[in-house]
Structure 1
C-alpha cells in the first residue's frame, strides 16, 4: 500500500473520507466514472480530505486522481493488511462504490473504525438490472427478490446512508423492500453549467445516427445487437444514405463482428471526447431493453444538443414520458418511425432538442442538488449514534450470527496464508 499523501487543497486537520472503489474511475469511458468524480467533489466541498483505495488493476484510461487532489492506494481483498492501514488512516467517512465493496471491506472498516460514517454508492440498483435482464432472456415475470437483491439490500442495511441516482429506484426500495426514507439519499447526474444552444452544431451540419456506451456494460451490448437486428433495417430502408456509428470502450472481438460497412452500421471504438463526438451527429440513440439508474448517454446527448431517441427503460429516471417530444416506445416499428421523422424534419428535431435542454434545467442542476447532499451528510454525521440505533435491520445484520461475508473472507485469508 502507498504511504498517505496529504491533499494540499484541503486543510490537514480536515476529517478524512475514504472511497473504496470497485474500479478506478474512467470518466472518459463511463458515466459511472464521471459520477464518481462528481460525488468526490461534493464530499470535498463538504469539508473532507478525500482519499481513494481500490483492489482493481490500473488502466491507461483512468483519471489522474492524484493530480485532482485525491491520493490513491492499492488494496487487496481478503488481506488483513488492510486492517492496520485503515485504522491508521482513521477515516471519518467511508464510501463503498457498489455493494460488493461493502461486502469485502465493510466488516473490516466496522471493526477498525467503528465511528466512521458509511455511505453505499449504488450507482444503480444492480439487482433490478439483473432481474430485468433475466426476465428479458427467459420471458418470465420480473423477480425483484433474487439472490443479488439479498446481498445488495443487506449491504444497504449495514450502511448509514445509501446514495441513489434514481427516484424510481428509491420508490421501489421503499415500496418493495421497506428501506426507510431516512437511509436513502438522492443524487442525480450533476450539471454545473448549462450548455448554450447557440454553441451547438446546426441541424444542417449534422449527419448520421450515433450510439455510445462502454461494452463491459451488458445493457449496452444488448442495445446495439437489438437495434442492429430489429430497428436498423427499417431505418436504412427509408434513409439509405444514413449510417449508424457505434462508439464504446472495450469493444471485444464479438462486438467487432457487428461492424457492417455494407449496411452502414459501423463500430467505431472508443470516443476520446463523448460530447465532441455526439455533437457531429443528428440523432443520438439509447435503445436500452434492460438496465437501471440514470443513463449517461442520454445526458450527454442533451448536453451536446443531440436529440436522443430511447426506450421506456432508457427514459426511466431521466424525464417523464410526456416530456420527450415523441412517443417513448420499445417497439422496433415505432422507434424506426420516430427516427426517420426526426432525421428529416428540422422543426420537430429542434423541438426535441429543446426538450433535452428543459430536462437538464429541471432535473440535473448542481446548484439545486449539491446543498441538500452536503447538509444530509452533516446531519447524519452529527447524530450518527441515534441514526444507527434506529436502524434495526442493520444492527441485526451486524450481529455475529449473520456475518457470513466476514467469516468467508477470514477463511479465504487463512487458506491463502497456509497455501
Structure 2
C-alpha cells in the first residue's frame, strides 16, 4: 500500500513540534505496512529530516500545475494525508477528481481557527470570534476529508458542538512517545538556570518571549538568586526577538538548539508562558521527556494535563507564575515531585502503546471500505457536490495564467 503525505513544509523535527509529530505519525504508518512518500512544494532546508535515510521517498511538486496530476496518477496512493488544511485546499480537489476512492486524512496539529481567534481576541481585548474566515476554510477542509487527526480533546468537542462536525470524521491521536524518546535525566544539583523553547515562526512563542521580557522576568528576579539566568532557544528568531538579548539583565537569546532534549537537560526549570494558542505543546512534552519540571499557563496546559496531574494551578498572573517557578527552582522535594508527575503523564497519556493498535484498526476499517465510511457523511457529500469550488477554479486560473505567461 502506498501512502502520500503532502506537506506544506519539509518536516523539521528539531525545529517544530509539528515536524516531530509528522515523523512519529509516519513511523506508525510505516509499521502498519505503508510505503511512505512525502511531497512538498516548499524549498528544501538544511534542517529538514533525512527522509531518504529513514526509508521514505521524497518528491518536489508544484502548486497550481497539472504536472501534479500526471505524477499522482502514476503513484496512485491508497492513502493521502494533508499536514495542513491549506495543502488540502491546494491538492484535495485534484485527488478527489483523479483518485476518488483514495482515503484522505487531514492532520491538524492544532486547530488554526481557534489559535488565530484567541490571538485576535487577546490583542484586541475582545471576545473570541470562532466563526471567522479561517474557520470556514478549515472546517470545510475537515468535512471534505474522510478523517481528521486531532491532538486536543478540547478541539474535538469544539468541532462537534460548535461546528457540527460528525464525530466519526474526527480521531484523537496525541503526540506519541516511546521509551527511546526519553533521556537520562540529570539530577537537581547538576542543573541551573531557567529555559524557554519554541520556534519563532509561531506567534504564541514570540508573544511569550516578549511577555517574559516585559513582565515575567522582572518579577521572577525578585524571587530567585542573583546568579540565575533565563535562556531562550528557538529557530527562526527575527530581529525583534534578537534585540531582546541582554546579558546584563541575565536574559539570553540562544538561537536554534541542536538537540532540544539534551539542551533542556542542563536546566532546572522549563517555562512555557503562553497567553494564546491551541493544540498540544511540544515544549512541555520536551520538558517531561528530559525530566525538567515545567511551569506553564492555562493555555499551555490545555490538552496536555489537568492541574491535579501537574501538581500546581497554571496561572496567567505574573506574581503567581513567578512564585510557582521559584518554588520549583528552589525546593528540591517539590522539583522531584513535578518531575515524577511529568513522567506519569507521559506514561498515562502519550505512550505509543496506548494509541497505536486502535489507530491502525480504525484506519484499516476505513480503507477496507471507504464508501461505507462515507455513506452516512451527508455534509461531506454536500460539500463535494457544491464543492465550494473556488479553490479548484482559482488554481485552474493561475495555471492558465502561468502557461500563457510562459508562452509569451
TM-score bracket, shorter-length normalisation:
over 0.9
Query: In the alignment, is the contact (CA less than 8 A) between 1:28 and 1:273 conserved in 2?
Result: yes
CA separation of 1:219 and 1:205: change in aligned 2, threshold 3 A: same
Correspondence for 2:198: 213
Matched, 1:100 2:86: yes
After the TM superposition, which residues 68-107 of structure 1 pair with which residues of structure 2 at under 5 Å, given as runs? 68-107=54-93
CA distance in 2, matches of 1:393, 1:405: 18
Matched, 1:315 2:315: no
- TM-superposed CA distance for 1:237, in Å, is 2.4
- Please list the CA deviations of residues 13-56 of structure 1 after superposition, one character each: whole Å capped at 9, or x if unmatched: xx111000000000111111111001111111112111000010
Query: In the alignment, is the contact (CA less than 8 A) between 1:396 and 1:402 conserved in 2?
Result: no
- SS of the counterpart of 2:162? helix
Correspondence for 1:407: 393
Matched, 1:225 2:210: yes
CA distance in 1, matches of 2:80, 2:158: 25
CA distance in 1, matches of 2:349, 2:320: 27
After the TM superposition, which residues 322-401 of structure 1 pair with which residues of structure 2 at under 5 Å, given as runs? 322-400=308-386
Query: In the alignment, is the contact (CA less than 8 A) between 2:182 and 2:290 conserved in 1?
Result: no
CA distance in 2, matches of 1:346, 1:334: 19
CA separation of 1:275 and 1:356: change in aligned 2, threshold 3 A: same
CA distance in 1, matches of 2:77, 2:373: 19
Query: In the alignment, is the contact (CA less than 8 A) between 1:397 and 1:403 conserved in 2?
Result: no
Query: In the alignment, is the contact (CA less than 8 A) between 1:194 and 1:361 conserved in 2?
Result: no
CA separation of 1:170 and 1:342: change in aligned 2, threshold 3 A: same
TM-score normalised by L of structure 2: 0.97
TM-score normalised by L of structure 1: 0.95
Which range is displaced more, 299-308 or 377-386?
Answer: 377-386
CA distance in 1, matches of 2:124, 2:197: 27
CA distance in 1, matches of 2:140, 2:387: 14
Matched, 1:174 2:160: yes
- SS of the counterpart of 1:18? strand
Which range is displaced more, 135-144 or 398-407?
Answer: 398-407
- SS of the counterpart of 2:113? helix
Correspondence for 2:148: 162
Query: In the alignment, is the contact (CA less than 8 A) between 1:289 and 1:313 conserved in 2?
Result: yes
After the TM superposition, which residues 228-243 of structure 1 pair with which residues of structure 2 at under 5 Å, given as runs? 228-239=213-224, 240-243=226-229
CA distance in 2, matches of 1:132, 1:61: 30
Task: Name segments (4+ residues, structure 1) moved above 6 Å.
Answer: 194-197
CA distance in 2, matches of 1:303, 1:173: 30
Matched, 1:18 2:4: yes
- SS of the counterpart of 1:162? strand
Correspondence for 1:65: 51
Which range is displaced more, 321-330 or 265-274?
Answer: 321-330
Matched, 1:203 2:188: yes
- SS of the counterpart of 1:245? strand
CA separation of 1:196 and 1:157: change in aligned 2, threshold 3 A: closer
- SS of the counterpart of 1:399? helix
- TM-superposed CA distance for 1:383, in Å, is 2.1
- Please list the CA deviations of residues 211-231 of structure 1 after superposition, one character each: whole Å capped at 9, or x if unmatched: 011111111001111112111
- TM-superposed CA distance for 1:301, in Å, is 0.2
Matched, 1:283 2:276: no
- TM-superposed CA distance for 1:401, in Å, is 5.8
CA separation of 1:330 and 1:194: change in aligned 2, threshold 3 A: farther
Matched, 1:56 2:42: yes
Correspondence for 1:146: 132
Query: In the alignment, is the contact (CA less than 8 A) between 1:219 and 1:291 conserved in 2?
Result: yes
Aligned length: 404
CA distance in 1, matches of 2:151, 2:242: 32
Correspondence for 1:262: 248
CA distance in 2, matches of 1:134, 1:358: 35
CA distance in 1, matches of 2:293, 2:386: 53
Structure 1: segments with no counterpart, 5+ residues:
1-14
